[in-house]
């Protein structure tokens, strides 16, 4: 029998054997970056370049956007996005080496290095509708650079794009650029997660830089690597070919979303059998090959990226005539939709098979805690289902603006929908106000303030219709404690206590 010592350790093959480029491939002469411009002052461009300015006092960073209101907000006390720690970073460097502006031309002209951080939403029409990424914003930003630039620029693809987009950007720049202006394209996908963006940017797991394997390409990668080296350990800055870098971003999001859909698929089995998904995920997460992160069952993933990037991968697979691969990844998105339908069905059946006229207190509208972002939030779909069942909805979220909620809930193009909406949905200013007179509480976002250690659920129980239900779509509540107060508690991935086989 083999001794334990002689068994394979399971260690990952070292980088030197896996990466086509040695880690020292960028130890070559290169230009120092002194001025950076970022096109796109959104959830990625804003925090990323603010942190670059904060960590690199010798670099001047200008973040530009076509949207004046957004730039005005970045220049005000009320930043356009909420992210823990962001305000401190911005306020400490704004006006010193960090600037927000709508003067795109000047920022492009003056910069040595330009980040393209514009939006790449899913296409709404035409070929690839519903799947492919709409690269219109990337193309128009690239054309803008070509038109305005008068000197050499390093152009960095920061937006998430399909494989080989850098090639298209290069063609546009080379065929439209001014004589004498040379462009080097890099791919530098962003791996930050909203809600923890500043933490992720301060201590990234890795920084990925893709470039052409030419002397100019490697020198451009070295210039960008130097910027990150102001705070990221050199060995965590990885360089590789452009296409691997582009695909790595789509792959990372697909794998992360797949874990959520996998645990959510298991949550359905738990609910039907008496197993508890939190216990199952804890047990499997202890296996070091699996690991504990991204195994929390929930009402479904949201955010601007997971669905969009997987659909993008599905489209890419189909374009490459790989239908089985496309179908495999499509199922990750389908499972996410199914989880929302299943949760709604459970609410309906628990509330005696009808929601008509019942008041549901929906707690949370952001797609996850610690962000005000609502893109693809599960709450939007759930509220749509509740409305179809003629429920009355009282909604509370600590960070999302009221105008954003109305925007997300209204059916685009449907006349009078907002009037009908406002008859069915009320936005409240606290969880207590939402729950008063409600038949059920539905937890959609895992905000800490909704936990039973923060909210007074006895007080809430007293104001609700009886029987008072809680549907915990995020597994943040202590079920037994709330049952003791008198609530009927239904949690994702757990069967009803009285029905379990304990």
Which positions are catalytic? 305
Cβ pair 238, 208 in contact under 8 A: yes
State the DSSP code for 266: H
Binding region for ligand NAI (CB under 6 A) out of 134-142, 166-174, 208-216, 316-324: 134-142
All residues at 6 or more sequence positions from 480 whose CB lies less than 8 Å from its CB, including other chains: 497
- Binding status of residue 67 toward ligand NAI by CB under 6 A: yes
Cβ pair 254, 316 in contact under 8 A: no
In terms of CB distance, is 62 or 495 closer to ligand NAI?
Answer: 62
Cβ pair 142, 108 in contact under 8 A: no
Binding-site member from 97, 117, 258, 336 for ligand NAI (CB under 6 A)? 117
Per-residue x/- mask for ligand NAI, residues 185 to 224, rule CB under 6 A?
A: -----x-x-x------------------------------
Binding-site member from 141, 270, 311, 409 for ligand NAI (CB under 6 A)? 141
Backbone angles phi, psi at 76, to 5 degrees: -105, -175
- Binding status of residue 237 toward ligand NAI by CB under 6 A: no
Token duo for residue 350: 């628990």
Supply the minimum distance, in Å, between the C-beta of residue 306 and ligand NAI: 10
Near ligand NAI in 289-328, by CB under 6 A: 304-305
60-64 vs 98-101, strand pairing mode: parallel
Q: What angle do CA 412, 414, 420 make, to 5 degrees?
A: 110
Binding-site member from 33, 37, 39, 314 for ligand NAI (CB under 6 A)? 39
Binding-site member from 63, 118, 222, 438 for ligand NAI (CB under 6 A)? 118
Q: Measured between alpha carbons, how far is 201 from 486 in angstroms, rounded to an integer? A: 44
- Binding status of residue 144 toward ligand NAI by CB under 6 A: yes
In terms of CB distance, is 117 or 339 closer to ligand NAI?
Answer: 117
Supply the minimum distance, in Å, between the C-beta of residue 137 and ligand NAI: 4
Q: Measured between alpha carbons, how far is 71 from 94 in angstroms, rounded to an integer? A: 12
- Binding status of residue 123 toward ligand NAI by CB under 6 A: no
Q: Measured between alpha carbons, how far is 365 from 379 in angstroms, rounded to an integer? A: 5
Supply the minimum distance, in Å, between the C-beta of residue 287 and ligand NAI: 28
Supply the minimum distance, in Å, between the C-beta of residue 141 and ligand NAI: 4
Per-residue x/- mask for ligand NAI, residues 87 to 116, rule CB under 6 A?
A: -----------------x------------
DSSP, residue by residue, 348-415: HHHTTT--TT-EEEEE--SSSTT----TT-HHHHHHHHHHHTT-EEEEE-SSS-HHHHHHHHSPTT-T
Q: Measured between alpha carbons, how far is 441 from 363 in angstroms, rounded to an integer? A: 7
**Buried b vs exposed e over 225-234: b needs ≥16 C-beta within 10 Å?**
bbbbbeebee
Binding region for ligand NAI (CB under 6 A) out of 40-48, 180-188, 261-269, 361-369: 40-48
DSSP, residue by residue, 94-124: BTTTEEEES-HHHHHHH-SEEEE----PBP-
In terms of CB distance, is 24 or 105 closer to ligand NAI?
Answer: 105
Length of the chain: 502
Largest alpha-carbon pair distance within the chain? 77
In terms of CB distance, is 159 or 336 closer to ligand NAI?
Answer: 159
Backbone angles phi, psi at 230, to 5 degrees: -60, -25
Which residues, listed in sequence order, are joined to residue 472 by a DSSP beta bridge?
A: 443, 491
Supply the minimum distance, in Å, between the C-beta of residue 245 and ligand NAI: 13
In terms of CB distance, is 132 or 391 closer to ligand NAI?
Answer: 132
- Binding status of residue 160 toward ligand NAI by CB under 6 A: yes
Binding-site member from 70, 359, 368, 494 for ligand NAI (CB under 6 A)? 70
Supply the minimum distance, in Å, between the C-beta of residue 476 and ligand NAI: 22
- Binding status of residue 445 toward ligand NAI by CB under 6 A: no
Cβ pair 432, 462 in contact under 8 A: no
- Secondary element (H or E) of residue 173: helix 165-176
Give the residue from 24, 51, 20, 14 showing the smallest Cα distance to 237: 24
Specify the residue for token string 């907000």.
Answer: 73
Near ligand NAI in 43-62, by CB under 6 A: 43-45
Binding-site member from 36, 52, 61, 64 for ligand NAI (CB under 6 A)? 64
Give the residue from 198, 188, 228, 249 showing the smallest Cα distance to 92: 198
How many residues make contact with ligand NAI (CB under 6 A)? 28
Binding-site member from 19, 23, 66, 181 for ligand NAI (CB under 6 A)? 66
Which residues, listed in sequence order, are joined to residue 209 by a DSSP beta bridge?
A: 239
Supply the minimum distance, in Å, between the C-beta of residue 65 and ligand NAI: 4
All residues at 6 or more sequence positions from 171 whose CB lies less than 8 Å from its CB, including other chains: none
Q: Measured between alpha carbons, how far is 229 from 241 in angstroms, rounded to an integer? A: 20
Supply the minimum distance, in Å, between the C-beta of residue 497 and ligand NAI: 37
Binding region for ligand NAI (CB under 6 A) out of 65-73, 87-95, 164-172, 316-324: 65-73
**Nearest residue to ligand NAI, using CB?**
42
Supply the minimum distance, in Å, between the C-beta of residue 378 and ligand NAI: 16
Q: Measured between alpha carbons, how far is 350 from 247 in angstroms, rounded to an integer? A: 44
In terms of CB distance, is 101 or 241 closer to ligand NAI?
Answer: 101
Number of neighbours of residue 486 by Cβ within 10 angstroms: 14
- Binding status of residue 370 toward ligand NAI by CB under 6 A: no
In terms of CB distance, is 104 or 238 closer to ligand NAI?
Answer: 104
- Binding stretches for ligand NAI (CB under 6 A): 39-45, 64-67, 70, 104, 117-120, 137, 140-141, 144, 159-160, 190, 192, 194, 304-305
């Amino acid at each position: 029998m083999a001794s334990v010592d002689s068994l394979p350790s399971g260690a990952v093959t070292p980088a030197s054997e896996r990466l086509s480029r040695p880690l020292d491939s960028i130890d070559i002469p290169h230009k120092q970056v002194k001025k950076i411009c970022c096109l796109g002052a959104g959830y990625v461009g804003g925090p990323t370049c603010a942190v670059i300015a904060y960590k690199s006092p010798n670099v001047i960073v200008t973040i530009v956007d076509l949207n004046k209101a957004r730039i005005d907000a970045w220049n005000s006390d009320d930043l356009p996005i909420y992210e823990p720690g962001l305000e401190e970073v911005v306020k400490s460097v704004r006006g010193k080496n960090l600037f927000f502006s709508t003067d795109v031309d000047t920022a492009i002209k003056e910069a040595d290095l330009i980040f393209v951080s514009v939006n790449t939403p899913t296409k709404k029409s035409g070929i690839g509708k519903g799947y492919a990424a709409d690269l219109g914003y990337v193309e128009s930003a690239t054309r803008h650079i070509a038109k305005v630039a008068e000197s050499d620029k390093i152009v960095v693809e920061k937006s998430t794009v399909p494989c080989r987009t850098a090639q298209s950007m290069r063609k546009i720049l080379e065929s439209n650029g001014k004589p004498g202006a040379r462009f080097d394209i890099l791919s530098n996908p962003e791996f930050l997660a909203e809600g923890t963006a500043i933490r992720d940017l301060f201590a990234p797991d890795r920084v990925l830089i893709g470039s052409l394997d030419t002397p100019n390409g490697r020198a451009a990668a070295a210039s960008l690597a130097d910027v990150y080296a102001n705070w990221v350990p050199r060995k965590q800055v990885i360089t590789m070919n452009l296409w691997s870098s582009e695909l790595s971003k789509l792959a990372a999001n697909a794998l992360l979303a797949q874990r959520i859909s996998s645990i959510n698929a298991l949550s359905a089995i738990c609910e039907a059998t008496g197993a508890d998904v939190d216990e199952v995920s804890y047990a499997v997460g202890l296996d070091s090959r699996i690991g504990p992160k991204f195994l929390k069952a929930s009402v479904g993933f949201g955010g601007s990226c997971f669905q969009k990037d997987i659909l993008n991968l599905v489209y890419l697979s189909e374009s490459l005539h790989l239908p089985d691969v496309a179908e495999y990844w499509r199922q990750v998105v389908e499972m996410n939709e199914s989880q929302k339908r299943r949760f709604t069905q459970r609410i309906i059946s628990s509330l005696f098979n009808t929601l008509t006229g019942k008041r549901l207190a929906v707690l949370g509208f952001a797609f996850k805690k610690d962000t005000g972002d609502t893109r693809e939030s599960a709450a939007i779909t759930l509220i749509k289902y509740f409305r179809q069942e003629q429920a009355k909805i009282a909604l509370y979220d600590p960070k999302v603006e009221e105008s954003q909620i109305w925007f997300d809930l209204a059916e685009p193009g449907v006349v009078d929908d907002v009037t009908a909406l406002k008859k069915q949905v009320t936005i409240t200013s606290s969880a207590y106000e939402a729950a008063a007179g409600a038949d059920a509480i539905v937890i959609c976002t895992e905000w800490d303030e909704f936990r039973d250690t923060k909210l007074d659920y006895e007080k809430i129980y007293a104001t609700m219709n009886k029987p008072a239900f809680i549907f915990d779509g995020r597994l943040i509540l202590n079920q037994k404690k709330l049952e003791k107060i008198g609530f009927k508690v239904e949690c994702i991935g757990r069967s009803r206590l009285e029905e379990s086989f304990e």
